[in-house]
C-alpha cells in the first residue's frame, strides 16, 4: 500500500498553493507576522522555495486568514485565485487542459499539489458527473471555508477556460449561511444546504466541450514533470481520504476496525490513535461512507430501502431506517421527497 500523508506530515510546498492565499492576504494589507502567527514558519522561509509544511499548519493559516480578514467574501476571492495556481508543471497542465473532463482528471491526479486539503473524488453515472469533495486530514472548523474556496475555484476555472458559465449544482453539508448572496454571485443559484454531503454535479454533456487554451502537447510535457514531482514526494492521498476510499471499496463486505487496521498495516490501537489525531473515530468515518452511499443509491438510482439495506449490510430495512434517522434526522422516505 502506497504511503499516505497525515495532518502533521510536511508534504505541501509552502511557495505553491499556500503562497496564493498568503499573497492575497498580504495585498489586503495584513501584516505577514500576524498572518503566520502560530503556523511555525515565516514569510522569509517561503521565499527560499524549499519549505514543506503540514496540513495542520495550513489549517492554522486558514484560521488566521479568517480572523484577520473577516469579510464574507474572503473565501470566494481566494477561490477565484486558486486555479491554475502556483504549482509549476501541475498548474500548467491544468491551464492547457482540452476540456472539463481532462481538467478534472488532472485535478484528481495532482490533488496533493493543487488542492492538498480537500480532494475531489469523481463518480459518473449515465447522465451526470458527481464531484465529491473529500476532507483529507481533518479540517473541522475550516471545512465550510475550504468548501467555499474550492467550489469557487473550480467554477471560476471552468468558466474562464470553457468561455461560458456552466450549469453546476452545488450541495453543501453545512447550514445556509447568513451571507447567501456571496454564494449566489460567485457560484450561481443552484444551491442546496444541509445536504449531508459536499458535492458538485454537472450533466455529462459539458465534459467534452473544447476549452480555449487546449494544448495536448503542453499537457503531456507538463504531466511528465508533475509526475516526477509526485514520485519524489512518494505519497498518495490524505489519511482520512484514503480511509474513506478503502471503506467505500469494501462496502459490500462486513467491516470492522481490526480488519481495516490490518489492511493499513497497523494495529487497531494505532489506527484509533491516528483517527484521534485527526479528531475523528472509526464509527464516524464508517457512518459517513454509508450515509453518502445510501443517499446516492436512494435518491439518484431509485433503489428501494430493502436493496440498500442488504447492500450496506444492515439486518433489514428497519435497521437502515433507524440508522438513517440517526445520521440525517429524517427517514429515507422523507428524504426521498426532496429530489436532490
Partner 1 sequence: MLALHKWKILLILVAANLLLLGCLSVGEIKDWREIDWLDILGEGGISLLSLVWLLLILHSRPAGRVTNFFVAGLAGIFLASFQDTLDEVIRIPDTVSFDQWVESGLMPIGLLLLTYAIYHWHKEQLHINEHLRKRERLFREHRIQDPVTHLGSAEYLRRQLHTELLHHHQQQLPLSLLLLDVDNFAHINRRYGNEEGDRLLQELTELILLNLRRCDLLCRYAGDRFAVLLPNTGETMAQMLAQELANVIRHFAFKTRRHGESVFHSVSIGVALALDESPEHLLARANQALLHAKEKQESDIFLAA
Interface residues with partner 1 (CB under 8 A) are 24, 27-28, 71-73, 76-77, 80-81, 156, 159-160, 165, 178-179, 181-182, 184-186, 189
Between residues 81 and 98, which has the closer beta carbon with respect to partner 1? 81
Q: Which of 46, 36, 39 is nearest to 14 (CA)?
A: 46
Find the shortest distance in angstroms from Cβ 186 to partner 1: 6
For residue 4, the 8-state DSSP code is: -
Between residues 9 and 96, which has the closer beta carbon with respect to partner 1? 96
Residues ≥6 apart with Cβ < 8 Å to 220: none
| H/E run at residue 43 | helix 43-47
The whole-angstrom separation of Cα 11 and Cα 234 is: 10
Between residues 30 and 77, which has the closer beta carbon with respect to partner 1? 77
Find the shortest distance in angstroms from Cβ 181 to partner 1: 4
DSSP E strand boundaries for the chain: 12-13, 52-53, 118-124, 128-135, 169-171, 191-192, 199-203
Q: Regarding beta strands 199-203 and 169-171, do their DSSP bridges make them parallel or antiparallel, or are they unpaired?
A: antiparallel
Find the shortest distance in angstroms from Cβ 76 to partner 1: 7
> For residues 92 and 222, is the Cβ–Cβ distance under 8 A?
yes
Find the shortest distance in angstroms from Cβ 201 to partner 1: 19
Between residues 185 and 220, which has the closer beta carbon with respect to partner 1? 185
Between residues 71 and 270, which has the closer beta carbon with respect to partner 1? 71
Find the shortest distance in angstroms from Cβ 185 to partner 1: 4
Buried b / exposed e over 192-231, threshold 16 CB at 10 Å, is eeebbbbbbbbeeebeeeebeeebeeebeebbeebeebbe
The whole-angstrom separation of Cα 104 and Cα 100 is: 6
Find the shortest distance in angstroms from Cβ 66 to partner 1: 15
DSSP 115-147: -SSEEEEEEE-SSEEEEEEEESS--GGGHHHHH
Q: Which of 323, 276, 268 is nearest to 295 (CA)?
A: 323
Between residues 73 and 227, which has the closer beta carbon with respect to partner 1? 73
Residue with cell 503562497: 19
Between residues 10 and 177, which has the closer beta carbon with respect to partner 1? 177
Find the shortest distance in angstroms from Cβ 114 to partner 1: 17
Amino acid at each position: 500500500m502506497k504511503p499516505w500523508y497525515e495532518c502533521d506530515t510536511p508534504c505541501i510546498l509552502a511557495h505553491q498553493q499556500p503562497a496564493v492565499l498568503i499573497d492575497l492576504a498580504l495585498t489586503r494589507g495584513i501584516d505577514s507576522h500576524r498572518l503566520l502567527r502560530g503556523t511555525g514558519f515565516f514569510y522569509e522561509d517561503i521565499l527560499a522555495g524549499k519549505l514543506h509544511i503540514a496540513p495542520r499548519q495550513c489549517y492554522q493559516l486558514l484560521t488566521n486568514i479568517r480572523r484577520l480578514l473577516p469579510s464574507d467574501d474572503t473565501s470566494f476571492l481566494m477561490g477565484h485565485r486558486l486555479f491554475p495556481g502556483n504549482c509549476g508543471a501541475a498548474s500548467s497542465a491544468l491551464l492547457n487542459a482540452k476540456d472539463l473532463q481532462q481538467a478534472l482528471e488532472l485535478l484528481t491526479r495532482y490533488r496533493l499539489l493543487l488542492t492538498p486539503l480537500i480532494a475531489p473524488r469523481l463518480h459518473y453515472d449515465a447522465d451526470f458527473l458527481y464531484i465529491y469533495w473529500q476532507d483529507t486530514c481533518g479540517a473541522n472548523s475550516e471545512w465550510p471555508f475550504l468548501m467555499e474556496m474550492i467550489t469557487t475555484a473550480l467554477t471560476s476555472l471552468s468558466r474562464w477556460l470553457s468561455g461560458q458559465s456552466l450549469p453546476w449544482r452545488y450541495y453543501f453539508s453545512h447550514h445556509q449561511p447568513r451571507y447567501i448572496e456571496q454564494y449566489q454571485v460567485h457560484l450561481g443559484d443552484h444551491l442546496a444546504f444541509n445536504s449531508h454531503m459536499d458535492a458538485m454535479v454537472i450533466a455529462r454533456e459539458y465534459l467534452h466541450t473544447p476549452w480555449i487554451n487546449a494544448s495536448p502537447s503542453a499537457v503531456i510535457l507538463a504531466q511528465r514533470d508533475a509526475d516526477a514531482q509526485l514520485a519524489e514526494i512518494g505519497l498518495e492521498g490524505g489519511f482520512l481520504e484514503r480511509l474513506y476510499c478503502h471503506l467505500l471499496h469494501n462496502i459490500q463486505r462486513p467491516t470492522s476496525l481490526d480488519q481495516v487496521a490490518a489492511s493499513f498495516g497497523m494495529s487497531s490501537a494505532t489506527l484509533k490513535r491516528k483517527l484521534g489525531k485527526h479528531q475523528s473515530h472509526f464509527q464516524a468515518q464508517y457512518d459517513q461512507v454509508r450515509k453518502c452511499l445510501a443517499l446516492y443509491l436512494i435518491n439518484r438510482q431509485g433503489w428501494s430501502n430493502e436493496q440498500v439495506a442488504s447492500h450496506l449490510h444492515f439486518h433489514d430495512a428497519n435497521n437502515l431506517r433507524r440508522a438513517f434517522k440517526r445520521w440525517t434526522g429524517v427517514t429515507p422516505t422523507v428524504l426521498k421527497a426532496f429530489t436532490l
